[in-house]
Amino acid sequence: MDEKGLAEILEGFKDGSLDLGGALARLEDYPEADLGFARLDTQRVARVGFPEVVYCAGKSDEHLRAILERLLSGSDPLLATKASPAQFESVRDLSPGLEYDPASRTIVARRPPEPPAGSPYVAVVAAGTSDYPVAEEAAITVGMFGQRVERVYDVGVAGIHRLFRRLDLIRGARVVIAVAGMEGALVSVIGGLVSAPVIAVPTSVGYGASFGGLAALLAMLNACASGVSVVNIDNGFGAGYQASLINGL
């Protein structure tokens, strides 16, 4: 529930359109909804500007179902990440509005409308096709904020002309998300070419001494270009979230 929702309830009660019981009922799940095993943070919109996002990995089907059911009973956009196909199957009957993207493993509902064409945008730049799932998780998250996103994929530095040909699109962004596995060099090159803040997402793409994304993570933390910060390995969601906060300033 965001501040407007809270104000409506309070004013409804004040002007008599809502009696005490009704007001309490609508406030019942505020600032948390107690499911016994879980306490949904229903105050989050008011406090940090976006509703609680569901991290699906490691949750039992029963827990996940109960959580989504409760969130679907509200009216906020719904975003759930790292959901396996089997998890989606176990909840898809909850609402016809649930959509699943198997590449990024995200479940969404109640997508915000598309932003106007000339809106400031977040550029999601990805190094290789194997980075596609993480890049899409970031792009979908930005979309759930109702913001504009531009995708620039497969422009890794091994063929750097591909990147330069899209430089205008990247430089036009208010924030850039740079997604790369292996050695993550894309981040440093972009960081040296744009004046927008760059949020780097290391991916676990690679093998051997990539150590599950550690190589890319360390590289990005040590990027010689300024203006770069980093999120967890494969955390497209986190990058999309922060980029949206910045793009919305």
Please report how close the Cβ of residue 75 comes to a second copy at its closest, in angstroms.
19
With contacts defined by CB under 8 A, name the span among 20-28, 92-100, 105-113, 237-245 that binds a second copy. 237-245
| Binding track, positions 1-30, relative to a second copy; x by CB under 8 A | ------------------------------
CB-wise, 22 or 85, nearer to a second copy?
Answer: 85
Please report how close the Cβ of residue 160 comes to a second copy at its closest, in angstroms.
6
CB-wise, 96 or 161, nearer to a second copy?
Answer: 161
Q: Give the integer Cα–Cα distance in Å for 90 and 101.
A: 15
Q: What letter represents residue 120's amino acid?
A: P
Total residues belonging to the chain: 249
Number of residues that bind a second copy (CB under 8 A): 96
Please report how close the Cβ of residue 237 comes to a second copy at its closest, in angstroms.
8
Please report how close the Cβ of residue 242 comes to a second copy at its closest, in angstroms.
5
Question: Do 204 and 234 contact (CB within 8 A), yes or no?
Answer: yes
Question: Do 36 and 46 contact (CB within 8 A), yes or no?
Answer: no
- Report 197-236 residues binding a second copy (CB under 8 A): 197, 199, 202, 204-235
With contacts defined by CB under 8 A, name the span among 7-15, 16-24, 57-65, 87-95 that binds a second copy. 57-65
Q: Give the integer Cα–Cα distance in Å for 166 and 51.
A: 34
CA count, 13 A, side-chain hemisphere, 230: 23
Of 44, 78, 122, 125, which lies in the binding site for a second copy, with binding defined by CB under 8 A? 44
CB-wise, 12 or 72, nearer to a second copy?
Answer: 72
CB-wise, 7 or 37, nearer to a second copy?
Answer: 37
Regarding 121 and contact with a second copy (CB under 8 A), the answer is no
- Report 123-182 residues binding a second copy (CB under 8 A): 127-130, 132, 153-162, 165, 174, 182
Q: Give the integer Cα–Cα distance in Å for 65 and 42.
A: 17
